[in-house]
Each structure stands twice: as C-alpha cells, then as structure tokens.
A and B are shown apart, each in its own frame.
Chain A
Amino acid sequence: MIEAKQLSKTFGDREVVKHVSFNVPQGQIFAFLGPNGAGKTTTIKMLTTLLDPTGGSVMLNGFDPRENPDEVRKSFGIVFQDPSLDSDLTAYENMEIHAVLYGLKKELYRPRIEELMKLVELYDRRGDLVKDFSGGMKRRLEIARGLLHHPKVLFLDEPTLGLDPQTRNLLWTYIKDLNKKEGITVFLTTHYMNEAEQMAQRIAIIDHGTIVAEGSFEELKKQTDTNSLEEAFLKLTGHSVREEGGEGQMRDMAKMWGGGKR
C-alpha cells in the first residue's frame, strides 16, 4: 500500500532522508520511530505529495505522487504534526470544507460528519470556534477530519503529542478498531514507545535520515537484546539529545505571531 524505494531528500547541502526503503502492506499498522530531526516528517511529506523527493521513488495505493498527485491525495488522510485547522471557523465548518475539497456530496457528508464528530465527542461543540478548543479537542477534530473521506491510508504524525492519557487511549482504541473493521492502513510516528508497542505490527527506527532497524516489536527486542521498545530504541539511536526539527521552529514562530491576532 505504501512503498518507498531508496527515498532521499536534500535541503541545500543537507541530506535529511538517505536512501530509505520500506513497504507497508494493506491493513498494516506501521510505526515510524526516531528522535527529533531524524527525518520522519520529511518522509511523510514526500509520501503525501507535499514535498518532491530528491532521489528514489514512492508509490501509494499504486500511484506515484509525482505522476498522479490527485489519486494519491484521495487515497490518504493525514493528521499533521503541527496544527492545521482554521481556528477562526467552527469545528463543523472545518469538517465541511474538508468534505467539499474531497468532492463529497452534501447528503453523504452530513451524516458522516455527525458520526465522526460524535465519535471524537465533539458533536455538541460543532458550532464553536476552533480557537476556543483545547489542544486535545483540536487533535480529535483533526483526526475526525482526516477520516472524513474514507481514506485507505491514514498518516498520523505524532498525533498524541501533548494529550492526556484518556484522550490518547480513546484515539488509539478507535484507530485500532478502524484498522480491524475497515482494513485501513496506518502509518504513525510517536515518541511514546508504549503506543508503538501496543499499536504497531511493524516498526521501523530511523536516525539521521537512515533506517537503523526494522521488524516487529519482538524482533526488535531480540535484535538489540533488550526487554522493551524504549531500551531497544535508546540502544539503536544513542542517548544524546537532538535539536528540534524545522517544524518546531515553525510552531514557535506561529506562537510569536499568534499572541495578539488570534
């Protein structure tokens, strides 16, 4: 369902993704783990038509993002690492714009929006402006939105960052359920190792733009001779603390400008 071959990306003279290859079959939950700045978000952007690779190739749902961007775009839903809602609109309006952008008909999307918003427990707040929502509510809304057009693949880039355990639990339970019932393929990144342990059938660990290990949770433990994914992760990627990536800087900028205006 998702296939990357020798995928590479260079910004200026910095190669941040280096010859990365993996293959995620349909219906699998795949965790893509790595320290900050490892190249996870950049990889996701190349898989989702937001960035052109500088080397290698990608196929998603049988389509090449460079040749058939719109087919690829119809195939996936995404929850970005950074916020991507319009906070001056209501929750419902954000959902509705998404539905229209994906070409859904009103008769179809109305009940679907209601169903999804009830599921993430936001239907009662549908008429409220998103700027009055908490971080967790925004996240839940983004997830509901990402699922609105029945995507075959769901990308989740650190979806649970900053959420309380209750909300995290709700989200993962739902996503696991969706994966079982509808066979949706899930590509996720997270810094919470227990989430990856519980959710993912396969895990790849990326560091400095290179995949350093890949396999099931059990296989990774065996390979590294450790007892938990956390230990395996640290053994593979070392203990030194990393700089935050470009996305983090963007977030700070947004905060700086956002204080007064929104």
Chain B
Amino acid sequence: MKPKLALYWASSCGGCEIAVVDIELKILDVAGFFDIVFWPCIMDFKYKDVEAMQDGDITLCLFNGAIRTSENEHLAKLLRAKSKVLVAFGSCAKEGCIPGLANFYDKKTILDYVYNDSPSLEAESKGVYPEMRTNMPEGEIEIPEFWNTVKTLDQVVDVDYYVPGCPPQSFQIINVIEAVIDILKNGKPLPPKGTILGAGDKTCCDECPRERKEKKIKKFYRPQEIIPDPKECLLDQGIMCMGPATRSGCDALCVKANSGCRGCYGPPPNVMDQGTKMVSALSSVIDSTDPNEVKEIIKTIADPLGTFYRFSLASSLMKRVQQKNGEDKNRKF
C-alpha cells in the first residue's frame, strides 16, 4: 500500500501550492510514490473524506497557511489527528507570515475598515457586515468565524517539522521530498521532532556573495532613492536587508537579484525573535553616537516594525500589537 499524502491551505495566498507544483517533473515522483488523499487546491476532495479516515491514516501532511478562522483551526485539528507526520509548510504555517501582519490590528478594526470605512465601498454596502449565520429559503447557511488574532500552526496543534520560506524554494522542496521518500522506502529513522527541513543553519548573509566592508550607516534608503551597486553588501549601502536576521536556505535569492532580503526564511537558529535580532544587528552598524542623530537615522527606516516582523509577527515574542490597553495609541489604517 502506498504512503498517503495530504496537502492543505489554511489562511494562505496559494503561493505555497504553486511552489509544490513548481518542482516540475519531480511532481510525477510524488504522485507515483504517494497516494494523494487530500489536496483541495488541485483535486476535488471534501472535508468529509478526511473526517471518514482513521486517526493516523495519512502518512504525511504538508500544511500551508496561517490560522485565521474557525475553519482553519478545525482543519488543523482534523489533519493533526489523521496524520502521522504534520509539517508546517511555508512561512504562513511556520510563523504567520503576511496574514500574521493583521496582528497589527484586531478583528473589530479590520472588519470596520473592510465593511464600513473603506473609501472603495459603495454607499449602499457601507455597514453591511458578514453574519456568521444567515437564514435563507433553503435553510441556514454558516460561514467560518474570524479570529481576533492570527496564529501559527504550532500555536494551535502539535507540529512535527517545519519548512520555512515564502514560499519554500523549489530546490529545497525537492530536497525535502527526496529525503522523505528515502526515509519511507528504506526504513530510515525520522529526524528529531521540531527539525527545520529544507533550509540551512546559518544566516542569509552567509550565503550571500556580496562584498562586505565595515558597515557605517548614516541613512537608510527606500528602493526608489538609490541604484544599488551590484557587488557591494546592500546593507553597507544603506539599503534595508534582513540578511543578518534571516535563516539561510534560499541561496540568497533576493540579494542576488539586487533586492534586500525581506526575511522570509524566518529567524536564524537560536534566535527567538527576528525583529529584536535585527535591532541588535543594526545597532552595531549605525554610525552615530549622538542620541538625536541616532533617532533621525532610525526615522529613515520606513515602518521598522512591519519591516523587521514582516514574516514573523505572529510567532514573535509579542505576537501581536496591544489593542485593549488603556495606553494604546489605537492604530488606524
């Protein structure tokens, strides 16, 4: 009997699904080796197909997307129960990623904006909010509940392994799939629980071919303000690059294309919080000892919190921006 494979997307953009298909002909090996039992993006499966399975029936489940709604959470729990090995696949499942940026706000602020305040709403649809339950002539219909806070997969269920990246790079997906097939075929032992698969154990800077000098930064530039030198370290040039606070594994994809690393492979090993790690790194290279000048230099960074936690806000130490606190500054869109 073939090992069973499931893939699911929770709160996701679909990019992780495309990344899996992007492994080109290797996908035939996957289809040949595994019995694909659930992959709603590609084939027609229903949730009840999964509900009907025995616990542990699925050999491997690659779960992408964050947990944003009651439906996401239900599927996370269901697939956890039915799967022997559950993998948080991609940045959304692993650390919250772009959906996790909603943790800058709360449910009410988001719904008010989308259904009432957004300037693109037509007058008659202003203030029409989605209702969880609606009675229709055919009966009651129900939509999932929208949670206040976006969570990562491992904040909701037990996770066995992680594959970082937004999305994980195809060559890394191939590495992971080949390793899995090898393990299952040849009865090799599984890696220790919690292992990060398909990535390196250094920082993005370690994979970067750019020349580094002693960094002395007086100003940070927006991309439109500067033409980057193709060989020099981007950070040395004052271009925001998350390389020092990001795990290796993508083969320095963005920096090789003249664009700063945005941090999608998540924090490097032994780093608890990607944002504070970046603060630490930048504090060593800002070229000033005058508090006021330091303030001015920091001001040249566009949206520091959103930039340093672009992928990992939901899994950071703070996890979300405070909202109900009396001293809140009540962030607005």
Partners in one complex: no
Binding site for B on A (CB under 8 A): none
